[in-house]
Amino acid sequence: MPARGDYIAAIDIGTTKVSTFIGFVKKNNVIEIKGYGTTECRGMKKGLVVDINEATKSILNSVSLAEKSTNLFIDSAYIGLTGKHISFLNNWTELNISSPGKIIRKSDIDRLISNANKVNLSSEHYILHTLIKQFSIDDEKEIMDPLGLSTDKLAVELLIIYGSITPIKNVINSVKAANIEIEDIILEALASGEAVLTPEEKSSGVIMLDIGGGTTDVAIYRNKKMIFTYCLPVGGDLITNDISIGLNIPFAKAEEIKKKFANLDHNFYETLNKINMGDLKLDKNKAALNIRLYSIVSDRVKELLSLVKEKIEAYGFLNAIPCGIVITGGTSNLKGINALSESIFNMPARTGIPVDIEGPSEAISNPAYSTAAGLLKYANQIKNFIDLGQFGDRKQKSRSFAGRFRDFILKVLRSSNLD
């Protein structure tokens, strides 16, 4: 019988759905998803809570489904967070090494990271993650593990990811109102990246796009580290909205048409007339309708991808990405999106589904669940100090805010049936 601490719960509060995943950490540290619950999410827009009561109800529904599917009771969980308020900064901090022989000790690294964490952000902001990008010794950069090396001056570069207090508080309050204690808040881009990227991709250089309903989360990795993140407040809902307006049909119908028929493939365009949309009982000329659908969807997706590309280019990160783009999130199900991304970014693209995680096939094969699966994986790494190759000193995070975050402690899942 597994110990209680071996279970982890995670809640991905997305714009279109809330997914609660309950994972069990196996002896080999692989996570098995024991059960999950997904419900439509109300009260969220572009990754932000716009109606706490509705968001709380959706969280409660999703948690209750996950509990039923496992016979486990969730009283605390890891929570995903996104939104355009998320930002990051890079911060270099130095330390003179004074030990005999100038050998870098663990205590030096700890002190340096502790100093580096003391970043002055305005009181409007809250630090979500401090991730180590690289060390340098005597101005030689890209040192990954300085322990035991000899130098006069050790420096570290941290990627500090932060967000605005108000939208974070709204997420916290909607989770608290559902009587769930928050173990920690994890950036959704980091969770999705953790779920779908291979170690090789993270090491060589890769762009991860999680295109959901209301947001597109971007994470870029190089040398095993996340080096850039960005949230574009645009996702698949805008495509549906355009279809709804363009074809003058209700949103729900437009959503159904998008999922069934939308296709960005050029070859598809050639054969549009042959597609039968008759079962949707739209009183329109079939061929004209198909062509209209194609142009609405491709215009919107091209625009979305171009905005992401421009942003990455502006930060100078579009070069040295040999592993190309990995696209996940519900909108990665859009047919032809990989080919279109390849032509826009001029690099290879593939669909990202969770890797190195076990569970029901729907939970691990649908890219819409990458964030939830990734939250479990990332949470397990935090809990067990498994080397993500990138941890700063999360213990330095302010404990006063929200008061209930418990970094590095085992979560408790009260269970009526632990077998």
Which contiguous run of DSSP H or E holds residue 53? helix 52-70
Q: Does 37 bind Mg ion (CB under 5 A)?
A: no
**Beta carbon of residue 15, minimum distance to ligand ATP (angstroms, whole number):** 3
Measured from the CB atom, the residue of 132 and 195 that comes closer to Mg ion is: 195
The mark string for 322-361 relative to Mg ion (x by CB under 5 A, - otherwise) is ----------------------------------------
C-alpha–C-alpha distance, residues 21 and 45, integer Å: 22
**Beta carbon of residue 147, minimum distance to ligand ATP (angstroms, whole number):** 38
Measured from the CB atom, the residue of 62 and 134 that comes closer to ligand ATP is: 62
C-alpha–C-alpha distance, residues 92 and 158, integer Å: 7
Which DSSP string corresponds to 260-296? HH-B--HHHHHTGGG---GGGT--S-HHHHHHHHHHH
Residue 62's binding partner among ligand ATP, Mg ion, none (Cβ under 5 to 8 angstroms by kind) is: none
**Beta carbon of residue 377, minimum distance to ligand ATP (angstroms, whole number):** 17
Whether the CA torsion 241, 244, 250, 253 is positive or negative: it is: negative
Residue 43's binding partner among ligand ATP, Mg ion, none (Cβ under 5 to 8 angstroms by kind) is: none
Place of tokens 């009183």: 283
Please give the radius of gyration of the chain, using alpha carbons only, rounded to the nearest integer: 22
**Beta carbon of residue 257, minimum distance to ligand ATP (angstroms, whole number):** 10
Select the span of 12-20, 252-260, 291-299, 390-398 touching Mg ion (CB under 5 A): 12-20
**Beta carbon of residue 62, minimum distance to Mg ion (angstroms, whole number):** 13
* Residue 379: C-alpha distances to residues 73, 80, 86, 351, 416 (Å): 18, 10, 20, 23, 23
Measured from the CB atom, the residue of 54 and 138 that comes closer to ligand ATP is: 54
Whether the CB-CB separation of 102 and 154 falls below 8 Å is answered with: no
**Beta carbon of residue 31, minimum distance to ligand ATP (angstroms, whole number):** 20
Whether the CB-CB separation of 130 and 158 falls below 8 Å is answered with: yes
Which contiguous run of DSSP H or E holds residue 337? helix 337-345
Q: Does 14 bind Mg ion (CB under 5 A)?
A: yes
Residues that bind Mg ion (rule: CB under 5 A) add up to a total of: 3
Q: What residues contact 325, with CB distance under 8 A and at least 6 apart?
A: 206, 207, 208, 209, 341, 342, 345, 347, 348, 349, 350
Using DSSP's 3-state secondary structure scheme, residue 391 falls into strand
Measured from the CB atom, the residue of 193 and 392 that comes closer to ligand ATP is: 193
Measured from the CB atom, the residue of 43 and 213 that comes closer to ligand ATP is: 213
Measured from the CB atom, the residue of 136 and 328 that comes closer to ligand ATP is: 328
Whether the CB-CB separation of 55 and 45 falls below 8 Å is answered with: no
The residue sitting closest to ligand ATP, measured at its beta carbon, is: 330
**Binding residues among 368-387 for Mg ion as defined by CB under 5 A:** 371
Residues 375, 378, 379, 385, Cα dihedral to 10°: 180
Residue 193's binding partner among Mg ion, ligand ATP, none (Cβ under 5 to 8 angstroms by kind) is: none
**Beta carbon of residue 158, minimum distance to ligand ATP (angstroms, whole number):** 26
Quote the tokens at residue 210.
């999680």
C-alpha–C-alpha distance, residues 16 and 41, integer Å: 5
**Binding residues among 208-227 for Mg ion as defined by CB under 5 A:** 212
**Beta carbon of residue 14, minimum distance to Mg ion (angstroms, whole number):** 4
Residues that bind ligand ATP (CB under 6 A): 14-17, 47, 212-215, 235-237, 240, 255, 258-259, 262, 329-331, 333-334, 368
| Contact footprint for Mg ion (CB under 5 A) | 14, 212, 371
